[in-house]
Structure 1
Amino acid sequence: MMELIVHPWPGPVPAPQDGVVAISIAVAHDMPRAHQRAEIRHAIAEVLAALTGKPAASFGIHSLPGHPLKVVVDGHDSDIGCSFSHEDGCSIAAINLHGAVGVDLMRIYEVFNWQAVARDYLGPEACAALAATPAADSTLAFVLAWTRHEATLKCHGIQLVEWSEDLVVPATVTASTVLPNNLVASLALPLQDQAQ
């Protein structure tokens, strides 16, 4: 099982762990989402520049509906994958130098009726596991399940939809961590990436 380490950026250049790097940036609490996206894209380019020695302007992010995000290098497709997520005051990104990756970020809210959301989006198996969780741990358990689910969908380029028996999500390996300010981050990689 991989370990998820999220490196604050700007800061020391993080060493990739099996080709994967996760960073977080602080953003203003009232920053519009479009500006948050621009900031995290800029941070991804800076990290890739530091890792590869190429100028940050060499990197762009290619987005196609139904596909994971990909990094374009000097105008050409690459095998580098990335993903990002935002919460009030923080943005997070994951970079996989070898392919697809998904990441999600969510704040733990103690007063939150998550049961209906879990039922609608996570399916009966996840709901059963959450129901078996002690009440004191149930909110954190939901946030972990939700962020892992979202990260997995992003990794495979699947849009968030309500759960159904027809929803097929390819196998992934996930890792999660609790960050300051009651934030939980989860990262997902395609299962075959773990064999590299």
Structure 2
Amino acid sequence: MLVIGIAAVPPRLEARLRLRDAAREAAAHWLKLDIETISVESTPGAPPRLLLAGRAASLSFSHDEGLSLAAIGLHGAVGIDVMRVQYIGDWFHLARDYLGPQVAEALAACTDAQRPLALAQAWTAREAALKCIGRQLAEWDARPIDCHLQPLSLPAPYVATLAS
């Protein structure tokens, strides 16, 4: 598995294009392939795929203001999500509606100073897991998601999670 990051440059469309190019370049270097044999395939509503000289690899992208990340999985699905740690006023309703009642209760037990980081960690974990299984973000449901979650070490104010 390979994780690639770039400092995002506005506008967002440019950052997306740069990240796709960076994923292709990294895969070419990593696998010792000609970059011309590598392409990104994306269809609205479906996870993107990296096409590597005739075979497909899992690909996941995430963007937040100032940073973009990509994950490539050669041996299975991957999902990645990045978020800036920030205060969100309506955190309880957001957590209850999208992360579930247990997470909302855990966040309610946090101090005001701890909550922004804990919310960002929970959000990126949920979003990365959903991307890994090919589901889009939707309101909470209790269906189990079977994937391994790995927090990534990033400089403040960013939090990210990789799912595989």
TM-score, normalised with respect to structure 2: 0.90
> 1:32 — aligned with what?
11
| SS of match in other structure, 2:114 | helix
Cα distance change on mapping 1:39 and 1:95 into 2, 3 Å = same
Provide, for residues 99-126 of structure 1, a one-character-per-residue CA deviation record: whole Å limited to 9, x for no partner. 2100001001135432221111111122
Measure the CA separation in 2 of the matches of 1:111 and 1:118.
10
| Conserved 8 A contact 1:106-1:147 | yes
Measure the CA separation in 2 of the matches of 1:144 and 1:188.
13
Measure the CA separation in 2 of the matches of 1:134 and 1:147.
20
Aligned-pair distance for 1:51? 0.8
| Conserved 8 A contact 2:60-2:71 | yes
| SS of match in other structure, 1:164 | coil
The root-mean-square deviation of aligned C-alpha atoms, in Å, is: 1.8
| Conserved 8 A contact 2:107-2:118 | yes
| SS of match in other structure, 1:135 | coil
| Conserved 8 A contact 1:21-1:94 | yes
Q: Which amino acid aligns with 1:40?
A: L
| Conserved 8 A contact 1:69-1:157 | no
1:175 corresponds to 2:146: no
Aligned-pair distance for 1:66? 5.4
Aligned-pair distance for 1:65? 5.1
Measure the CA separation in 2 of the matches of 1:40 and 1:151.
17
Runs of 5+ unmatched residues, structure 1: 1-19, 190-196
Runs of 5+ unmatched residues, structure 2: none
Measure the CA separation in 2 of the matches of 1:55 and 1:112.
48
TM-score, normalised with respect to structure 1: 0.76
Q: Residues 61-80 of structure 1 correspond to what in structure 2 (within 5 A)?
A: 61-64=40-43, 67-74=46-53, 76-78=54-56, 80=57
Aligned-pair distance for 1:77? 3.8
Measure the CA separation in 2 of the matches of 1:95 and 1:63.
14
Q: Which amino acid aligns with 1:171?
A: D
Measure the CA separation in 2 of the matches of 1:171 and 1:121.
18
> 2:71 — aligned with what?
94
Number of residue pairs matched by the alignment: 164
Aligned-pair distance for 1:55? 1.5
| Conserved 8 A contact 2:129-2:147 | yes
| SS of match in other structure, 2:115 | helix
Measure the CA separation in 2 of the matches of 1:77 and 1:23.
20
